Amino acid sequence: MKRKGFYILVILGIICLSVGIWWLLTQSAEWQYGPSFFISTGIFLLVFVAISLRWMHETAAALLGAAAVWLVHYIGGTFFPALQIINFEESMTFVDWNVIWLIMGMMIFMAMFSETGAINWIAFRIFRLAKGNAWLLVIGLVILTAVLSAFLNDVTAILLVVPLSIQIAQTVGIHPFAFVIPEVLASNIGGAATIIGDPPSTIVGSHLGLGFVEYLVNMAPIAILCMIPFLIIIGILYRREISGAKEQYSPALVSQLENDALITDFPLLRKAGLVGFLMMILFFTGDMFGGIPSSVIALSGAAILIAWVRPDMHRMLHEVNWTTLIFFIGIFIIVGGLEATGVIAWTAGIIGNLAGDNIKIASVLMVWIPGVASGIVANIPFTVAALPIADFLTATISGAENLVLYWALILGADLGGNSTILGSAPNIVAVGLLGQAGYRLTFGRFMRDGVPVTIATLILATIWLLIRY
């Protein structure tokens, strides 16, 4: 009953806020937007609340929001033209298909690569090299997660590393939180380093038509720098737990760990390794071939590996996270409705008034507004919504031609996603994996680690942007 009452209060609060905004705005004689402005805003806010408060699955919320946009446009717009938001054909132009195909291609490739057992093998080698030093073990697994997040994508990295990390933590007598939470935070930082690492990076990079190398040159240095304060903070937070780790491990647990970390398919590993190597070459040299999109490279690699390995396609396609792809499409459509009805331009105007013509102030705002917001709501839909704002500000503020506002948006969304469980997809995935192993990670417990790391990395990112751009 308490939970139901809380939801009712939230809904009433949104209604009151919407009515208040409507009343304030309509007092201005210069107000130019109609009912569709408020309806599209209301749909967007309700989807955000549904996702953030876990009323329903994020994909269901996004689909329902997209359907609401179309139904209001077609049915309501037939009787009252002022209710028209965006039609089906127009909404498809707002979907970034390069993002959809890129993620799909990488999912298919990783579904086959993960069957080789290579990631578990690497993690166990790190365990052996640490030789009982828990500090080296944590640092090794964190760096492995960051690298995997940069070159595979952050959710895939968490799915591959966390289950084995829980086993390793149990073996050395450390609570799994000391491994898993740092790995999650590292995945969001490492994912910012490349255009394929984190969804906000992919969304912005694809929108700008950036090549792999151009993105890497601008974002990898600051992502690497952010690992320094991150490691320092983690070292402080977990100094007692890690220092108290067992030096002697149970032979039975070590044997079980080793059995779970075997290469299970050498022929597949060789084929996937070769295709993956060729994909990396194309990612780095794509500009030499007419600016080949990242999605084409990812899909080509997946298609070649499928043709070479001949897996069971029904089983392989089950490994693709279709819910994530549909979620992206739904969010793109909802944000397209915001842009079509003028909500994005209005919001961008407010931020533009705060920044004036000062590119430095605009850069700071574009780091910290997404940084704070991404801790409250998921960073993926916020990035999609904020991207047109970055477009508007870049076109209107002198000195923004160097894309600094887009780099600021990426850093704000990626690094801000570390502050709470709801901030990014890897956080939610990791909580689920811990729950399956019998460990409950609460909202407040995650924030204990996530908030200081977020603040430190956002400060460093802000300084970096102000100095470099």
Per-residue pLDDT tens over the stretch 346-374: 777 777 778 777 889 999 999 998 888 87
Handedness of CA 315, 316, 322, 323 (dihedral sign): positive
Please give the single-letter amino acid code of residue 397.
Answer: I
Asked if 184 contacts 165 with a C-beta cutoff of 8 angstroms, the reply is: no
**For the chain, what is the mean pLDDT?**
82
User: Which CA distances in Å does 66 have to 36, 47, 70, 329?
Assistant: 14, 10, 7, 9
Residue 248 predicted with pLDDT over 60: no
User: Alpha carbon of 454 to those of 90, 203, 226, 296, 416: distances in Å?
Assistant: 37, 21, 10, 34, 6
Whole-angstrom Cα distance, residue 57 to residue 104? 20
What integer pLDDT is reported at residue 52 of this predicted model? 64
What is the model's pLDDT at position 399? 85
Give the tens place of pLDDT for each residue, 57-114: 778 888 999 999 999 999 988 988 888 889 999 999 888 788 788 778 888 887 888 7
Tokens representing residue 439 in the block: 């460990």
Residue length of the chain? 469
User: Once rounded to an integer, what is the mean pLDDT over residues 415-424?
Assistant: 85
